[in-house]
Structure 1
Amino acid sequence: MFKASAVSGGAAASVALAAPAIAQERPQIRWRMTSSFPNTLDTLFGSSQRFAQMVSDLTDGQFTIQIYPAGELVPGLQALDAVRDGTVESAHSVLYYYVGQDPTFAIGSAIPFGLNARQQNAWLYHGGGNELIDEFLVPYNVVARPGGNTGTQMGGWFRKEINSLADLQGLKMRVAGIAGQVLQPLGVVGQQLAGGDVYAALERGTLDATEFVGPYDDEKLGFYQVAPYYYYPAFWEAGPSVHYMFNKAQYDALPNAYRAALDVASKAANIDMLADYDVKNMTAIRSLVGKGAQLRALPRDVLDAAYESATNLYRQLDETNANWKKIYDQWAVFRTQSYEWFRVAEFTNDSYSYSQQAMGR
C-alpha cells in the first residue's frame, strides 16, 4: 500500500513538473506572412492559407501565421526585403522576383531552359539545392523552403501574332526572373510587374504581352480579353518553385517542433500546389479556347535564339558573379545528368502515349 502511494505520488509530481516544461517548449507564437500574390488567386494565395492552417494544426494552435495578400502590408515584389528587415516574420514569394539584387536568386526558382517540376524538386531536396540556396541567403537574413510549383508555364498572352523572331523587335513584355535579360538581345523590352497590375497595362497598350502562370490563373486575371494570342511554352519556367521565406533570426529562435512544423507544412504545400494546378489547368485551357483564346506555339527560330542567348548569359554570369557560379555550376551538372535519365524513360514513354492520344487511339 505504501509503495503504491509512493508511486502514485511520484507520478503526480512528474506531471506537475512536466507541465511547465511543456509550456515552455510550446509557447504561443503569432507570426505575420506577406504574400507576393493577390487573394483572388486561390492556387497561389490559397496555398499559403492552407500552409498556415497546417502549421497551426501541427502545433495544436500554439503557432499561428496570419496571411496578408500582396500590397496590404508591403508591395508584392518587396516581400523578401520585408522579411530580411524584420517588418514581417515570413513571406510567400518567388525568389526570381529579386534578381535585381542578384541574378543568382533566379536559380532557386527557375531559369530559362532549366528543370521541370520533378527535376527541380529532386535538385532542391536531394541534389544539394536547398543547402546552396540557404547559404546564398545568409547575408539576407532569410531561410527559404520550397512551398509550391506551378509546373511548366505558358509563354504568355500577346496582342499580336509572333510568326518569327523579327516580330519580337520592340515588344514590351511583362516577364519575371532573368528571362527579360535572355529576351533582350532578341528585341524584347522586359518589365517586371506584380500580377494585379498587368491587365490594366495590357488594356492601355503600355504592355504588348505578358506571361504569368498558366490557364487557370490567367483566366481569372482576364488576360484573354485584351491579348488574344496565347503562346507556349514558357521556356524560362519549366518548373518554377514558389518559396516560403522566414526571417532567419526568428526561425532560429523557434522551438525545434515549430521549425519541423514549418518544414513539413512547406513540403505538403509544395506537393499540393502542383497537383492543384495539374487538375485546374486541364479544364481552364478548354475554357479559354472556348472564349476565343488563340493557342500558338512559339516559333522555332525564337526558341533557338533564346537558347543561344541564355547560354551566353550564363557564361557571362559565371565569369562575373561568384554567387552565381557557385550554385549554377553545381546545378548545371545536375541538369545534364537529370536530362540524360529523363530522356531514357520519361520522354520516350510520354512521347509515345501522347502521340497515340492525339491520334484518337
Structure 2
Amino acid sequence: MKRRDFFKKAGVMSAGAAAATTGLAAPAIAQGNITWRMVTTWPKNFPGLGVGAQRLADRITAASGGRLSVQVFAAGELVPALQSIDAVIDGSAEMSHGAAYYWQNKSQGLSFFTGVPYGMTSRELAAWVRYLGGQEIWDEIYDQFGLQGFLSGDTGTQAGGWFRNELTGLSDIQGLRFRTPGLGGQVWEKMGASVTNLAGGEIFQALQSGTLDAAEFVGPYNDLALGFYQICKNYYFPSFNEPGLATELVVDKAKYQELPEDLQAIVRDCSQAEYDQVASDFYANDPRALATLVNDHGVTVRQFPEEILEAGAQAATELLTEIRENGDALTKKTVESYISALNLVRTRSEGTDMGFMRAREQYFSLS
C-alpha cells in the first residue's frame, strides 16, 4: 500500500472537524450507560496498532453489552499524537492508547514498560508485568498522575530501521539524524547519532524533506503502510533497542475505580486479550509485508555490522547503570525489578527457546 493511499483511506479529520470534537467535554451517560473517549498516538486505521486500538475499544463495548462504550480518536482528531496522555490527565479523554516510553519526560521508569535496549522480549516483558512485580511498580509510577496502565499490544522484536545509506561501522553513525524514541534513542545518541522523536504519521515527511537521514518505527507491516521504502532502501534487522515493544492502554484511575467491578475486569481483561491478538497480527503480516518490500519495491534487507551491535550493547549497559545509580527512588526501583526479572526469564528463553530455534534453523525445513 502506498503511503498516500493509506492516509487517504485513513480519512484524517480536517482541523475544523477536529475542533468540533472538543465539544465532548464529559463522558456521555444515558440510562446507566457510559461513553469513554480513547485518544491514540496512531493514525486512523493504522495496521496493527491503530486497528488494535479500535479492536480493543470494540471488545470493551461488546463485552460490556454497551454499558461502557469506547469512542476512538486517532492521532490529531482530538489532540496531537504525543499529547494523548495529557488529555487523560486533564480530563478531556478517559483513555489513551500509545507507548509508555513516549512519556519518559514524566518518569524515566515508564520506558521500561515499552522496550529496553538489549532487554526483554515481549513474552518476557509480559511475565515481568503479570507475575514478577512489574504491574505493581507501573501502578506506583502512574499513581503520581492519577492514571492506570495496562499492556494492550505486542509488536514482537522490531526492525532496526530505514537508512539512506548502507552502514559499514560506527563511523557511519556519527551525526546521523535518526528518529528513534525512548531508551533506545539514548543508546543511539551514545553511539554518536543525533536523535529525535516524531509521531508515526510525521516521519515520512521528515525523511522526504531531508530533516532525517534514518528512521525506525515498528517493522514491515507498519513501515510498508507508511511508505518509508519510497525514500530509503536499506532496511536493517533486528532492532536491538526494541526487542519486544509493548503498547499500553492508560485510563483515568479515579474514573476507572468508579466503574462496577465487572466493567473494571472487562477493561483489564480485554487489554490483556488484545496484547496477545496484536502479536498474532504482526507475526502473520510482518513476513508478508517484508516480501512485498523486497520483491515489489527493491528494498535491501541488511544486518547491523557486529561493530554496531557490540557498541549498542555497551551503550545500553552504560545507560541502564546510569539510570539505576542516578534516577529517583521509584525509577531505581523499576530498574532493579526489571533487571532481576530479566536475569530470571532469560534463563528460559536462552536455555530453551534459543536452542530450539537454532536446531530448527539448521536441521528442519518443509516446502
Q: TM-score, normalised by structure 1?
A: 0.90
**Aligned counterparts of 1:108 and 1:343: Cα–Cα separation in 2:** 21
**Aligned counterparts of 1:191 and 1:356: Cα–Cα separation in 2:** 43
Matched position secondary structure for 2:361:
helix
**Aligned counterparts of 2:193 and 2:108: Cα–Cα separation in 1:** 18
Matched position secondary structure for 1:234:
coil
1:262 aligns with: 267
145-154 or 314-323, larger mean C-alpha shift: 314-323
Deviation string, structure 1 residues 111-139 (Cα, Å, up to 9, x no partner): 10111111111111111111110111101
**Aligned counterparts of 2:266 and 2:352: Cα–Cα separation in 1:** 35
AA partner of residue 141 (structure 1): G
2:238 aligns with: 233
Matching residue within 314, 320, 327 for 2:326: 320
2:26 aligns with: none
AA partner of residue 240 (structure 2): F
Q: Per-residue deviation at 1:357?
A: 5.0
**Aligned counterparts of 2:165 and 2:256: Cα–Cα separation in 1:** 47
**Aligned counterparts of 2:350 and 2:269: Cα–Cα separation in 1:** 31
**Aligned counterparts of 1:341 and 1:58: Cα–Cα separation in 2:** 35
**Aligned counterparts of 1:153 and 1:328: Cα–Cα separation in 2:** 22
The alignment status of 1:306 with 2:312, answered yes or no, reads yes
The alignment status of 1:65 with 2:77, answered yes or no, reads no
Structure 1 segments, 4+ long, off by >2 Å, are 355-358
Q: Per-residue deviation at 1:355?
A: 2.5
The alignment status of 1:192 with 2:197, answered yes or no, reads yes
1:332 aligns with: 339
AA partner of residue 265 (structure 1): C
2:300 aligns with: 294
1:351 aligns with: 358
Which stretches in structure 2 are left out of the alignment for 5+ residues?
A: 1-28
The 5 A counterparts of 1:1-361 are: 27-290=32-295, 291-321=297-327, 322-357=329-364
Matched position secondary structure for 1:213:
coil
**Aligned counterparts of 2:257 and 2:357: Cα–Cα separation in 1:** 44
- Higher radius of gyration, 1 or 2: 1
Matched position secondary structure for 2:44:
coil
- Does the aligned pair in 1 maintain the 2:160–2:239 contact within 8 Å? yes
**Aligned counterparts of 1:191 and 1:301: Cα–Cα separation in 2:** 23
Q: Per-residue deviation at 1:27?
A: 2.6
AA partner of residue 47 (structure 2): D
**Aligned counterparts of 1:340 and 1:179: Cα–Cα separation in 2:** 23
**Aligned counterparts of 2:185 and 2:352: Cα–Cα separation in 1:** 33
Matched position secondary structure for 1:140:
coil
Matched position secondary structure for 1:284:
helix
- Does the aligned pair in 1 maintain the 2:47–2:221 contact within 8 Å? no
Deviation string, structure 1 residues 23-57 (Cα, Å, up to 9, x no partner): x9x93101000011001413111111111111111
1:10 aligns with: none
Q: Per-residue deviation at 1:275?
A: 0.3
Q: Per-residue deviation at 1:100?
A: 2.2
Matched position secondary structure for 1:147:
strand
Matched position secondary structure for 1:278:
helix
187-196 or 347-356, larger mean C-alpha shift: 347-356
**Aligned counterparts of 1:180 and 1:327: Cα–Cα separation in 2:** 19
- Does the aligned pair in 1 maintain the 2:47–2:225 contact within 8 Å? no
2:19 aligns with: none
Aligned identity (percent) is: 34
**Aligned counterparts of 2:159 and 2:66: Cα–Cα separation in 1:** 39
AA partner of residue 68 (structure 2): F
1:5 aligns with: none
AA partner of residue 113 (structure 2): G
- Does the aligned pair in 1 maintain the 2:39–2:78 contact within 8 Å? yes
**Aligned counterparts of 1:66 and 1:42: Cα–Cα separation in 2:** 18
Q: Per-residue deviation at 1:102?
A: 2.4
Aligned residues: 336
